[in-house]
Structure 1
Amino acid sequence: MTTPTKEDGCLLIIGGDEQRQCRERILARFVELAGGPGHPDPNVVLLTSASQEPEEMARPYQEALARLGVTRCDIVHAANREQANDPAVAERIAHADGILITGGDQKRLMATIGGTAVDQALHEALKRRCACVAGTSAGASAMAGHMLASGSAEYAPAKGAATLGAGLGFVQHIVIDQHFSQRHRINRLLSLIAQNPYLYGLGIDEDTALVVERGVGIEVIGDGGVTLVDGRAMITNAADIGEGEQAELIGVQLHVLPAGSGYLLPGAQASTRLKHIEREAPAPIQAFISNLTKRNPLS
């Protein structure tokens, strides 16, 4: 098995679940990823800046983490950019073993912490401390460089049905949607891919998470599945139709990975973080997984 190096941080992208008490299996994995071998009680930070009610948002996680044996759980709520640039606030994140970015509004989250000392501290924790950085719901969408900012497309992919914004950039050339199957968001994701075919689409169901070990591979855990959308080779008329019109999409590839699925990059060895994952990714999704697991120069 491989031994993580100081540049082998990992990501846990969680699809959200309004019944947060049901997610303890995923939180147990978060604690394990944050702690690592011989370190069962990690220093955990809950970053609640996406929410206007941080205490209410954090409480179920605090209670669940306490049941899982975590004794050090710090809440960081930067409510504005001045607080997000406070060195003392950033220091609490930079020295964490595990950071969970909670839900709320991803636009609020990025308007508050994007480009600040807190943003930089998240990347430093991932890179320098080999930390686990997790995001759930809005926190999951914000983990990509291109963030799904708003919109809906209930019945068909439509031009302009959803918009993008800048995210935290832990993964690049991918856009993440959450609550995916439960809120029927496939058309929303297809709408974005039609107008941005250089991006991969990643949809994560509720009570489901994707473990991403950088440079190694991925694993799907929880109750649902992960949907991968690849439109790089598609034919579309999205550039020629009017706003709100349904787009033609031909040749889009869609892959569904249920919980228990997992793949390694070609040539990668089995890891202590990815449970019992030994299969090499098949050719149709190798490029997708390579993008997910690529190390960002910033982190």
Structure 2
Amino acid sequence: MSLVTQHAIMAIGGAEDKIHGKEILQTFFHRCGGPDACIGVIPCASRDPVAIAGRYQQIFGDMGARAIKVMDIRDRSQGEDPSWKTVLEQCSGVFITGGDQVRLCGLLADTPLIDMIRQRAQLGEIALAGTSAGAAVMGHHMIAGGGSGESPNRSLVDMAIGLGFVPEVIVDQHFHNRNRMARLISAIAMQPDRLGLGIDEDTCALFERDGSFRVIGKGVITVVDPSAVTHTNEPDVAASDPLSIHGLQVHLLAHGDRFDWRHGKVVTVAR
């Protein structure tokens, strides 16, 4: 049972270090069981799945993983193939690569494969990581696209249904690198029962089974918490009108910080 308690769900903001210390990828590798790891790689968010899968095959192979299984799914019928169940049963971890989150959900949402991954990850039976697009799909609600450089407003963000691995959050990635604060606030204004997580590049939210996540990496995770909001004009204005939100809480968390996302509070501060 000790191995199971080490498993986790990891949302990575994209452009994680693949060359030097590889801290985030090393953490995932160890959560999968280290040398005993059997890692499934899902590259179908990418338009060049062979190349991107090959990159991670080499990385995890060089780390010493026992086996790496590429789940190269090009259409929905493949995602519904029951033989994936046998493959997934052998895996101690699953890694979802970057690309286009809309493409990823179009291929895999509501398939038996994703249902099984979600169940095993939430039970702590496997480690699950997603980077960039693979992080964007973590919540029930997903940011499918949008703009930047404007005041928060509903038209700034395109919403869709994600894969629901951590249903309570809405994840935006490449966050400060691409100036996405306004679109995350816009998304949270539209879904005020969720917690917004803006994850910078080479930065990861590692969700433990106790309801907290820990920050790993070189950047910051911006938490947008609407639980104490006293007023918003969101229901009453046009889609392109500026949003008014009172009482919105924002936390900036760096490497080593831990946040209890079920109760909306910082529980450990990095030293």
TM-score normalised to the size of structure 1? 0.82
Q: Hey, what does 1:119 align to over in structure 2? A: 114
Q: Hey, what does 1:183 align to over in structure 2? A: 178
Out of 22, 28, 53, the residue aligned to residue 30 of structure 1 is 28
Gaps of 5+ in 2: 267-271
SS at match of 2:253: strand
SS at match of 1:287: coil
Q: Give the % identical residues.
A: 33
- Provide the rounded CA distance (Å) in 1 between the counterparts of 2:90 and 2:264: 31
User: Is the Cα contact below 8 Å between 2:138 and 2:167 reproduced in 1?
Assistant: no
Q: Hey, what does 1:80 align to over in structure 2? A: 75
SS at match of 1:57: helix
Q: Deviations over 1:101-159 (max 9, x none)?
A: 01111111111111112112212432567210110000001111111112123221012
Q: Hey, what does 2:85 align to over in structure 1? A: 90
User: Is the Cα contact below 8 Å between 2:7 and 2:31 reproduced in 1?
Assistant: no
Which consecutive segments of 4 or more residues in structure 1 shift more than 3 A? Answer: 2-6, 18-23
Whether 1:287 aligns to 2:266 is no
After superposition, the Cα gap between the structure-2 partners of 1:22 and 1:113, relative to the gap in structure 1 and judged at 3 Å, is farther
Q: What letter matches 2:78 in structure 1?
A: Q
Q: Hey, what does 1:17 align to over in structure 2? A: 15
Whether 1:228 aligns to 2:252 is no
Q: Hey, what does 2:162 align to over in structure 1? A: 167
Q: Deviations over 1:43-84 (max 9, x none)?
A: 001101211210111222122212211241111111111000
Whether 1:219 aligns to 2:214 is yes
SS at match of 1:40: helix
After superposition, the Cα gap between the structure-2 partners of 1:20 and 1:232, relative to the gap in structure 1 and judged at 3 Å, is same
Q: What letter matches 2:191 in structure 1?
A: N
Q: Hey, what does 1:106 align to over in structure 2? A: 101
- Provide the rounded CA distance (Å) in 2 between the counterparts of 1:81 and 1:40: 32
TM-score normalised to the size of structure 2? 0.90
SS at match of 1:58: helix
Q: Hey, what does 2:269 align to over in structure 1? A: none
Q: What letter matches 1:287 in structure 2?
A: H
Q: What letter matches 1:32 in structure 2?
A: H
- Provide the rounded CA distance (Å) in 1 between the counterparts of 2:94 and 2:21: 16
SS at match of 1:66: helix
User: Is the Cα contact below 8 Å between 1:23 and 1:207 reproduced in 2?
Assistant: no
Q: What letter matches 1:123 in structure 2?
A: R
Q: Deviations over 1:20-45 (max 9, x none)?
A: 4357211100010010xxx6330001
